[in-house]
Amino acid sequence: MLKFRINDIDVEAEPGWTVLETAREYGIEIPTLCFHEAVQASGACRLCMVELREGDWTKLVASCVYPAKDGLNVYTESERITNVRRWIFEMLLSECPASQEIRDMAAKYGVTSTRFAIKDPEQDCIMCGLCTRVCAEVVGVHAIATQSRGVYKRIGSPFMKPNEACVACGSCVSVCPTGAMARRIDLVRGKMEENQTNAA
Amino acid sequence: MSTAPKVGVFLCECGDKIKGNVDMGLLAQKVVETPDVAFCKTMPYPCLKPGIAGIKKAIADAGLDRIVIAGCSRRLMMKKFENEMKDSGLDVGQIAMVNLRDHVALVHPGLEPAQRAEKGVKLIRSSVADLAAMVPGLRFQISIEKPVLIMGDGIATYAAAQQFARHGVESIMALSLDDEEEIRLLHERYPGERQNFGRVRNIMKAVEESPLVQRITVGDPIAKNGKTGNYSVSFENPEGGAPIAVEAGLIMACLDGEMESPGPEFGHNGDSVICQSEADEHLWTVGPYKGNVVFWINDVEAGTPEFAHLSMRGAWSLGRAMVERSDKCNVTIFHNQDTPLPLSAEERRISRKLGIQWVAYDGKICPTVQARNLTYLVKDDGLERELPWDQLILSPVRVVGRHAIDVASLLNLDHKEGRFLRAYHAQVRPENVGRKEAILAGSAAYPCDLSQALAQGRRAAIKVAETIDLSKDGKLFSPAIVSVIDLEKCIGCGQCEELCECGAIQVVEGIGGAFGRAVDPLICTGGGTGAAACPEQAMYLQNASTIQREAAAGALAKELAPGEVAAFGCTWGGYAAADNVAKSGLAMDPRLHMIYVPCVGQIDATVMAKALLDGANGVILFGCVPEECHHSYGVDHGWSRVNMLKKLLALAGFDRKRIALAHADFNNPEGFVKTVEGYTEIIAGMEPIERSPQNLEKLHAIYDTTKNSRVRLLLSAALRRPWESVYRGAQRHALEYDQEFAGVLAEEFAQTRLTRALKAQGEPQTIKDLAVHLDADKDYIAEMLMEMASEGKVNMIHKQRKAHFMV
Amino acid sequence: MQQTVDIESIIDHYPGVQESMVFILQDIQEAFGYISLENMQAACDHVGVPLTHAYSMATFYKSFRLEPVGEHEIHVCLGTACHLKGGPRIVDELERRLNVHAGATTEDMRYTLETVNCLGACALAPVVVVDKEYVPKVTAKKIQKTLKTITDNE
């Protein structure tokens, strides 16, 4: 058993648990976006950042991937964390302004506008890759993936055509935190009749 | 395994999402009171590592042999639980999930937390009853030690055999032609590909030299028996005499498509107007043509635009060979402007150098063949033009030959309607996606060029070899959820074989020498449509049986209040749509209580009847949108059964609307919510079925009628909708069939009631007694009784000069 | 008869392991000028990865093309030196002459016009590469001549 503290509460964890998992077991909620119980954590969205303190030394880590350790001192709602979270929400708002889900979530944390430039007002995807991970890890068909890189990165099926590999289970739509996949799924699943003739 | 099932229930709080909306204390208390529940625990997150550790501990401490996790979407979470619980001794089928969060906690804003808990209890009890009714069926190991048989004469045979040899797998090529004949046939089946024949010869040589490849010369195949790992196939003996028998572990089919000449509307005459395979023959036996040679890529006009690129490649290759061999030949390739040029940059350069003309025509007006001219239109120009020709070469018509169809049907590969053999296969889980592709290669599957055919052969061989590797490592097991046939009950009617989309049903020797049926567990996708259709209920889905579904439906129905509705939702349509309601910020009518099923085609009519019998006043099935059914026709099967139930309800004097079928798309939760509301309103607007002894008697009779073999046989023989354009068996007349079926139902329903009544009374009854008892017409009762007496179903005796009947 | 390029022979050249993917894609591009869906699928089948892997990889690297390419490829350098020496004007000139936008292929599939960020030949600015041959210190007149040479050579 590992012993450490979260928000000054003593907690215990087994080796292999993450800080996030331990916190949730003790009823301490940490907001997440790209985390889903069904798949491996990836630490992409940084919303689950927590502060680790040791004396006057502190550091910020993503709790969804940070392993529990003996003697940690974790704070999930410190001033620094709240500040970082607001920054992340502002960045998310500039990145995908079209997502109502993100706007709602940001508003819950008191963020309603962003100081960053909005590149694409139509964008609703935060590129967290949850959909592609579910497609690969849970469904096991790899019908969608991230494509290109940097600012051109996007999610979709190869050649932006309906992918024969897609089994149309809708798992990607269910896990998508922004609702973006609901608008993209028809491009991926296509019509089954068509998939038949498109087959290479 | 202990005899009494021990079910554990784990309630998820999901942070605040469930805990904040559902009275967890009340829920846990009611769950504990449920029969068969040996353990119940509320957890913050059963799905995270701490939660999973807790579940495993509970399984070990309380000796649980099946568990229900009431949390969120099973579509997303089940795989994780199944993987995690494997080392706790729970297999697929022993874990069930209830979507407490998305079907209860977040979608009923109008309810109090205690009311939500009440609804949750109903769903959990239904799930517990399902698991408790399970008779665990075990997986068994399958070993493949015999060689792979490659049959069908397709050219891919050689590529597959070569791949098997590379992989160290033994194979048998059963061919009716020798290598030279195969090569000679190639130009007919893959015109314009002579430059690739050298490669084929190399492969043939490699195969001949391999000690792992055995070659036998056979005639037409006669029969195939057995299952994966143990097949025997017999062929006609080309030299006469006894048939040739081959033993094999797996069978692969390599089938080439054939080419036919186009019809007279394109002017084909076999001389000046020919098709590409004839041109290929002429080029290599006689030589190039002289003068204007025109290749008309007429695939679009012939109704197969999807093959235009193949014909273009053929024309390019043939045309190029002609020009390279003769300077007296001008080649023009004449094609629809919508078909893109299939040439690489380098080839375009060569084409220009050789002076091959590419003429694109506007398909608005079909070009017409005239003596020495073709008339056509070009884009954005209304002027008709003429293209002179001396030799006109048309695209071939691609078909599947008789031989290929015979082989395919012997191997159960021809079940899908359509002109070619390869088709969309039940996409249920990755491991059984593309099973058909793994054992079928060549252009009869779907038109392709020679190198694609060879590649298919190789690819299929790789997949087959992977299965054999698994077997060698002792890791090849039958799936947990798979159809099984009880040979003691099987009458060998063959309905399952007709219906099975995966081709998993094999003919075996049944009891007393009759022909029974058995399921190949490695081919079965576990969809359960066959099991639900079995007239004798001899086939059942192991670990997800109809008995379990009946228990689930019954347990739910018992709990339902008068205005509430029992629903069945399929993984892909209804259940998934319900999962997405909360995500879209919508609310759902709380009166709907949905039970999970993999496919609505898996729901036996007995399950629907059971729900009505045990207390449901309305039952609705939510399947996929018809064309999107993942089990091919599951939703149509559901439709047929729902309609039978409607007829039975009407016969018993109940409202037909008490059962309904609906379609849902997971990405249209708005539509789903509307459908739900529409149906719950209908049911709420009706008086509930009064559970009087008379009504219960009728409901019981409905339930018994759904088990009647004659009714089930008729139903399963016509599970598809009459307007489906192609299906096996004779096309039925929609109305005549239905009238006949309704007649049979009425008869069987009445007889069921009479039998039940006679059994219940115990002593002989007069016609009048029975008519009063069943509240039915006396003459009709008399007619039924006389018929039953003549069939020996009842005995007629005379007491006080009046006819009395008894069972 | 000249052998046509064949996807199978490209694939057969490499072992069926994931590490071969980049090489196979490169060879496909070399042979066909671009990577089509069918060819990519063939490569994936050989290597044993889903199509999405190859597609992610091919879109990650800028050097892979997924659209058919013209017979002649013209790359105009727009690096700092070339930019200052009039690279954009060269692009304009080519766009006008070939009737095609930079980054696209002419309708008759003869020319593909591309811009690149720097070719490392700044001393030759402004520089254009036509079918892998460097044309230094380009002017509008020189372009006309170069295009004529292409047509003449055919």
SS3 per-residue string spanning B680-710: HHHHHCCCCCCCCHHHHHHHHHHHHHHCCHH
Q: Is the pLDDT of residue A117 over 60?
A: yes
Kindly report the length of chain C.
154
Q: Kindly state whether residue C1 falls inside one of the protein's structural domains.
A: no
**B321 closest CA partner among B272, B287, B349, B358:** B287
- Distance in angstroms (rounded) separating the CA atoms of residues A43 and A49: 9
Please enumerate, by residue number, every residue of C annotated as part of a binding site: 77, 82, 118, 122
Same domain, C53 and C124: no
Chains near C with 3+ CB pairs less than 8 A apart are A, B
Question: pLDDT of C66-113, one tens digit each?
Answer: 988 888 889 999 999 999 999 999 999 999 999 999 888 888 888 999
pLDDT at C108: 82
Question: pLDDT of C14-60, one tens digit each?
Answer: 998 999 999 999 999 988 889 999 899 889 988 889 999 999 999 99
Q: Is A15 left (phi over 0), alpha (psi -120 to 50) or beta?
A: beta
- Which residues in chain C are contacts of A132 at CB distance < 8 A? 52
B171-to-B164, B237, B459 alpha-carbon distances in Å: 7, 20, 15
The CATH classification of domain B711-806, taken from the options 2.60.40.2220, 1.10.10.10, 1.10.357.10, 3.40.980.20: 1.10.10.10
**B483-541 CATH:** 3.30.70.20
B48 touches chain A (CB under 8 A): yes
- Which residues in chain A are contacts of B41 at CB distance < 8 A? none
CB spacing of A171 vs B579 below 8 angstroms: no
Question: How sure is the predictor about B432, in pLDDT bands with cuts at 50, 70 and 90?
Answer: very low
CB spacing of C52 vs A165 below 8 angstroms: yes
Last residue of a domain, one of C31, C60, C89: C60
Distance from CA of A148 to the nearest CA of C (A): 4
H/E segment holding residue B302: none
Q: Is the peptide bond before C126 cis (omega within 30 degrees of 0)?
A: yes
B433 touches chain A (CB under 8 A): yes
Orientation of helix B197-209 relative to helix B179-189, angle to 10°: 150
Locate the domains of chain B by residue range. 1-136, 148-257+400-472, 259-398, 483-541, 711-806
Of A143, A145, A163, the CB nearest to C56: A145
- Distance in angstroms (rounded) separating the CA atoms of residues C126 and B270: 61
Q: Kindly state whether residue A41 falls inside one of the protein's structural domains.
A: yes
Of B317, B345, B454, the CB nearest to C70: B345
Q: Kindly state whether residue A90 falls inside one of the protein's structural domains.
A: no
pLDDT at A199: 34
Spell out the residues 6+ positions from residue B567 whose beta carbon is closer than 8 angstroms to its own: B574, B592, B593, B594, B595, B619, B620, B621, B622, B676
Name the residue range of residue C43's domain. 7-60
Question: How sure is the predictor about B75, in pLDDT bands with cuts at 50, 70 and 90?
Answer: very high
Last residue of a domain, one of A77, A112, A141: A77
Q: Is the pLDDT of residue C3 over 50?
A: no
- Distance in angstroms (rounded) separating the CA atoms of residues A112 and B339: 52
**DSSP classification of residue B733:** P
- Distance in angstroms (rounded) separating the CA atoms of residues B448 and A53: 65
Task: Look up residue B559 and give its amino acid.
Answer: E
Mode of pairing for the β-strands spanning B37-43 and B7-12? parallel
**C74 closest CA partner among C153, C152, C151, C147:** C147
Last residue of a domain, one of C60, C81, C100: C60
Mode of pairing for the β-strands spanning B373-376 and B368-370? antiparallel
**B624 closest CA partner among B604, B606, B598:** B598
Q: Which CATH architecture has domain B1-136?
A: 3-Layer(aba) Sandwich (3.40)
Question: pLDDT of B659-678, one tens digit each?
Answer: 999 999 999 999 999 999 99
DSSP E strands: which ranges in B664-772?
Answer: 765-766
3-state secondary structure of B566: strand
Same domain, C53 and C84: no
The tally of CA atoms less than 13 A away on the side-chain side of residue B356 is 25
Question: How sure is the predictor about B437, in pLDDT bands with cuts at 50, 70 and 90?
Answer: low
Q: Is the pLDDT of residue A192 over 50?
A: no
> What sign results for the dihedral spanned by CA atoms B242, B244, B247, B252?
negative
Distance from CA of C65 to the nearest CA of A (A): 11
B127 touches chain A (CB under 8 A): no
Backbone angles phi, psi at B368, to 5 degrees: -120, 135
B516-to-B187, B206, B719 alpha-carbon distances in Å: 44, 43, 21
Name beta bridge partners: B245.
B234
Q: Kindly state whether residue A119 falls inside one of the protein's structural domains.
A: no
Question: How sure is the predictor about A196, in pLDDT bands with cuts at 50, 70 and 90?
Answer: very low
Decide: B704 and B651 in contact? Cβ < 8 Å. no
Task: Please identify which residue in the block is written with the tokens 């048998």.
Answer: B172
Q: Kindly state whether residue A16 falls inside one of the protein's structural domains.
A: yes
Question: How sure is the predictor about B414, in pLDDT bands with cuts at 50, 70 and 90?
Answer: low
CB spacing of C52 vs A159 below 8 angstroms: no
Burial of A42 (0-12, 13-18, 19+ CB in 10 A): middle
CB spacing of A165 vs C50 below 8 angstroms: yes
Q: How far apart are the first and last CA of chain C?
A: 20
The token pair that represents B309 in the structure block: 């690129």
**How many CB atoms are closer than 10 A to CB C123?**
9
Same domain, C138 and C76: yes
CB spacing of B49 vs A37 below 8 angstroms: no
Of A132, A149, A165, the CB nearest to C51: A165
B259-398: same fold as B148-257+400-472?
A: yes
- Average pLDDT estimate for B83-108: 95
pLDDT at C2: 42
Task: Look up residue B378 and give its amino acid.
Answer: V
Q: What angle do CA B322, B395, B276 make, to 5 degrees?
A: 40
Q: Which long-range contacts (CB under 8 A, 24 or more apart) does A97-106 make?
A: A97/A121, A97/A123, A98/A122, A98/A123, A98/A124, A99/A124, A99/A125, A99/A126, A99/A178, A99/A179, A99/A180, A100/A179, A101/A177, A101/A178, A101/A179, A102/A126, A102/A177, A102/A178, A105/A31, A105/A33
DSSP E strands: which ranges in B459-527?
Answer: 483-485, 505-509, 515-519
Residue with more model confidence, C135 or B263: C135
SS3 content of chain C, % helix, strand, coil (to 5): 50, 15, 40
Spell out the residues 6+ positions from residue C37 whose beta carbon is closer than 8 angstroms to its own: A158, A159, A161, A200
Q: Kindly state whether residue C88 falls inside one of the protein's structural domains.
A: yes
CB spacing of C154 vs B347 below 8 angstroms: no
The token pair that represents A99 in the structure block: 């997502």
The token pair that represents A138 in the structure block: 């849970």
Q: Is the pLDDT of residue B212 over 50?
A: yes
CB spacing of A38 vs B77 below 8 angstroms: yes
Distance from CA of B324 to the nearest CA of C (A): 7
Tell me how many domains chain A contains: 2
SS3 content of chain A, % helix, strand, coil (to 5): 35, 15, 50
B287-to-B90, B279, B321, B325, C1 alpha-carbon distances in Å: 71, 10, 10, 8, 15
Residue with more model confidence, B412 or B359: B359
**B259-398 CATH:** 3.50.50.60
Q: Is the pLDDT of residue A198 over 80?
A: no
- Average pLDDT estimate for B356-376: 92
Question: How sure is the predictor about B417, in pLDDT bands with cuts at 50, 70 and 90?
Answer: low
pLDDT at A176: 94
The token pair that represents A89 in the structure block: 């929400």
**How many CB atoms are closer than 10 A to CB B464?**
25
Name beta bridge partners: B569.
B596, B622
Question: pLDDT of A123-168, one tens digit each?
Answer: 999 999 999 999 999 988 899 999 999 888 999 999 988 888 888 8
Same domain, C92 and C126: yes
pLDDT at A197: 37
Alpha helices in C67-138 (DSSP H): 80-84, 87-98
Reported ipTM exceeds the 0.90 cut:
yes
CB spacing of B196 vs C31 below 8 angstroms: no
**B672 closest CA partner among B748, B778, B580:** B580
**How many CB atoms are closer than 10 A to CB A6?**
22
CB spacing of C55 vs A145 below 8 angstroms: yes
pLDDT at B728: 47
- Distance in angstroms (rounded) separating the CA atoms of residues B560 and B611: 10
DSSP E strands: which ranges in C2-143?
Answer: 72-77, 104-105, 111-116, 128-130, 133-135
Alpha helices in B515-602 (DSSP H): 529-533, 546-559, 574-579
Same domain, C76 and C148: yes
Q: Kindly state whether residue C132 falls inside one of the protein's structural domains.
A: yes
- Distance in angstroms (rounded) separating the CA atoms of residues B473 and B368: 63
**A147 closest CA partner among B496, C61, B597:** C61
**B148-257+400-472 CATH:** 3.50.50.60
Same domain, C87 and C32: no
B653 touches chain A (CB under 8 A): no
Please enumerate, by residue number, every residue of C annotated as part of a binding site for [2Fe-2S] cluster: 77, 82, 118, 122
Backbone angles phi, psi at B465, to 5 degrees: -65, -35
Decide: B332 and B295 in contact? Cβ < 8 Å. yes
Name beta bridge partners: A18.
A67
- Distance in angstroms (rounded) separating the CA atoms of residues B169 and B161: 9
**How many CB atoms are closer than 10 A to CB B295?**
29
The token pair that represents B394 in the structure block: 């048309």
Distance from CA of A152 to the nearest CA of C (A): 10
Q: Is the pLDDT of residue B429 over 60?
A: no
H/E segment holding residue B486: none
A123 touches chain B (CB under 8 A): no
The token pair that represents B599 in the structure block: 């496919």
CB spacing of A173 vs B424 below 8 angstroms: no
Question: How sure is the predictor about B687, in pLDDT bands with cuts at 50, 70 and 90?
Answer: very high
Question: How sure is the predictor about A195, in pLDDT bands with cuts at 50, 70 and 90?
Answer: very low
Name the residue in chain C with its Cα closest to that of B460: C45
Q: Is the pLDDT of residue B320 over 90?
A: yes
Name the residue in chain C with its Cα closest to that of A141: C50
Q: What angle do CA B616, B621, B622 make, to 5 degrees?
A: 140
Question: pLDDT of B737-767, one tens digit each?
Answer: 889 999 999 999 999 999 999 998 888 888 8
Q: Kindly state whether residue A85 falls inside one of the protein's structural domains.
A: no
- Distance in angstroms (rounded) separating the CA atoms of residues A115 and A118: 9
- Distance in angstroms (rounded) separating the CA atoms of residues C45 and C54: 11
Same domain, C78 and C148: yes
Question: pLDDT of C101-137, one tens digit each?
Answer: 988 888 888 899 999 988 888 999 899 999 888 999 9
Tell me how many domains chain C contains: 2
Mode of pairing for the β-strands spanning B373-376 and B230-235? unpaired
Name the residue range of residue A39's domain. 2-77
pLDDT at B513: 63
Question: pLDDT of A56-114, one tens digit each?
Answer: 889 999 999 999 999 999 999 999 999 999 999 999 999 999 999 999 999 999 999 99
Same domain, C84 and C143: yes
Question: How sure is the predictor about B431, in pLDDT bands with cuts at 50, 70 and 90?
Answer: very low
3-state secondary structure of B188: helix
The token pair that represents B196 in the structure block: 């690739």
CB spacing of A37 vs B628 below 8 angstroms: no
Question: How sure is the predictor about B800, in pLDDT bands with cuts at 50, 70 and 90?
Answer: confident
Distance from CA of A39 to the nearest CA of C (A): 19
Q: Is the pLDDT of residue B11 over 80?
A: yes
What CATH number has the domain bearing residue A10? 3.10.20.740
B580 touches chain A (CB under 8 A): yes
- Distance in angstroms (rounded) separating the CA atoms of residues C45 and C64: 19
